[in-house]
Structure 1
Amino acid sequence: MGTYNKGILGAFSGKVGPVVGASWRGKEVMRSLPKKSNRVASALQQQQRQKFAMVNDFLGGVQPVIKRYYGSDSGIKTRRNQAMSYLMREALVFNDPDYEWDYSKVLISRGDLTGMEDATLDVAAGAISVTWTDNSEQGEALANDQLVLVVYDPATKAVVYSLAAGERADEAAALAMPSYLDGAEVQVWATFVAADEKLFATSLYLGSITVI
C-alpha cells in the first residue's frame, strides 16, 4: 500500500487497471488488486475465517456502543479494530470442529472509569432489570454517570441497547425488550459512561437470562 499527494485532477477512488484508490484515515492510498488463488484454505485459515466472521457479525450489532466507548480512537487502530483484535484473541473458544463464544470474556467497552459493583440481573414482564451499588466518588466515578446496557440474542443475532438506561446513583434500571425476544435466552452487559462521554468503564458481563 502506498500513499500519494493529490495531483491536478485530484484523488481517485475505485479500480483503475490493476490499482485500487481509496481514502484511509485521511490519507489517499493506492493498493494493488489481490491475485486470485486456487489454493484450498488450510484448516488454520478456515478457523481464522470463522473467527473473523463471528466477531464481525457481533460487532455489527453493537457498533454504536463500540465506536464510542472502546479504548482510544487514536493511532492506527480504530476502536472497532481494537475490539476485533481482543474478541478474536480472548472471547472465542475452539470446540472441535467449530469456535464458540465465551460471553464472560466479551467486552463492549474498555476504559478507566470505575465500573459497576454488586450487580444483579433479573427479568420481569417484557423487561430486563439490573441493580447495583452506588459507588460514586470511587476514582473518577460520579453520581450522574450514565448506565449503558447491551442485550444480545445469539440465536437471531438481535441486539437491544440503551446508552442512557439510568444513572450510577439510581442503583436500579430496566430495559424494555421487544416482543420478538419473548422466550429467548439473551446475554447482557453493562457499563458506565461519564455524562460528557470523556471517560467510560470497562464493561461487566451480567450473565444470560430468558426473556419473559
Structure 2
Amino acid sequence: MGMMSNNGGGMWSGLVGPVVFVQDKNGKTIVRSKPVYKKKKLTPKRQESCDRFTRGGDFIKPIYPFLKTSFTDWLEMKTARDAVRSYTLTYAVKQEQGKPVIDYPKFLISTGKRRAYHPVQQQREHTEVFLEWQPDSTQAFAHADDLLSVMGYVPQTGAYVFFEACATRAAAQVALELPEALAAAPVHFWATFSTPTGDSYAYSTYLGLL
C-alpha cells in the first residue's frame, strides 16, 4: 500500500511500503528508507519526575476550582494556577517505597494573609466531626467575621468533602456532618479562614486523619 504522484516531468514522489521517493535539490528522484521513530526511554530520574507530576496533578485536579480562588498568595508565581502546581509538586509530593505519594501535612488548600486556623481540639464519631479553635480575633489579620472552610479527602475512595463558609472565626467551634457512606472511612482534613468576600485566605492548617 502506498501513495505516488507524478509531477508531469517524469519525476515520482511519495511513499511505497518501507521506502520513500523524494526529489533532491537538483530535481532528481531518489529513494530513501522510511524514517522509523523510536520513543526514547526515560532515565530513572526523568521517569520519577513524570510520575510525581502525574500524581500531584491527579490529586489537585478535582479541587482546582476551589484552589484557584483560595490561593491568594501566589508564592512569587504569575498566577494562582502556577502557585498551586508549583507548590504541590515541590513540597506536597514525596517518594515512598519508590512511588510518589501525597505528603498530606504539607499539602495546602489555601494561601494568603489571613491569620491561620489554630486548633484547640478535634474529634470524630461516625459521621460527626467536632472542631474547636482559637478565635484570635484581636490579633493582626484576624476578624470576627472571617469564614471557616474545611476540606476532607478520603484516601480509600479518592473522594473529597467540602464545608465552605461553615462558621465564623468568632464562633470558635463547629459540628460537621459527613455523608453516611463515610461513617467508617478515615478522612484527612484541612481548615482555613477567609474574608467574607473571599478575596484573601489564610495558609491552611492540616488537622490530621480522623
TM-score class, shorter: 0.7 to 0.9
C-alpha contact 2:68 2:81 (8 A) present in aligned 1: yes
Compared CA separation, residues 196 and 98, structure 1 to 2 (3 A): same
Amino acid at match of 2:115: T
Q: How does the TM-score come out when normalised to structure 1?
A: 0.75
Could you tell me the percent identity over the aligned residues?
A: 28
Given the two structures, how large is their TM-score scaled by the length of structure 2? 0.76
Q: Secondary structure at the match of 1:81?
A: helix
Larger Cα Rg: Structure 1 or Structure 2? Answer: 2
Per-residue deviation at 1:62?
A: 2.1
Letter of the 2:66 counterpart: V
Q: CA deviation at 1:145?
A: 0.5
1:31-86 deviations in Å (ceiling 9; x for gaps): xxxxx761112212221121111111211232232011113469974313211111
Following superposition, the deviation at residue 153 of structure 1 comes to 0.8
Bigger shift: 88-97 or 184-193? 88-97
What is the aligned partner in structure 2 of residue 197 from structure 1? 198
Alignment of 1:33-182 (within 5 A): 38-72=39-73, 77-182=78-183
Unpaired segments ≥5 residues, structure 1: 1-35
Residues of 1 paired with 2:100 and 2:72: CA distance? 25
Root mean square deviation, CA, Å: 2.0
Aligned 8 A contact 1:190 1:206 in 2: yes
> How far is the alpha carbon of 1:119 from its aligned partner?
3.5
1:136-185 C-alpha deviation (Å, 9 max, x unpaired)? 13112111100010000122110001221111011111222112222111
C-alpha distance after superposition, 1:100-150 (max 9, x if no partner)? 222111111011111112342211342222110111131121111000100
Unaligned runs of 5+ in 2: 1-36
Q: 1:170 to 1:37 in 2, by over 3 A?
A: farther
Q: Which residue of 1 aligns with 2:8?
A: none
Aligned length: 174
Give the Cα separation in 1 of the matches to 2:169 and 2:196: 11
Deviates more, 1:65-74 or 1:37-46: 65-74
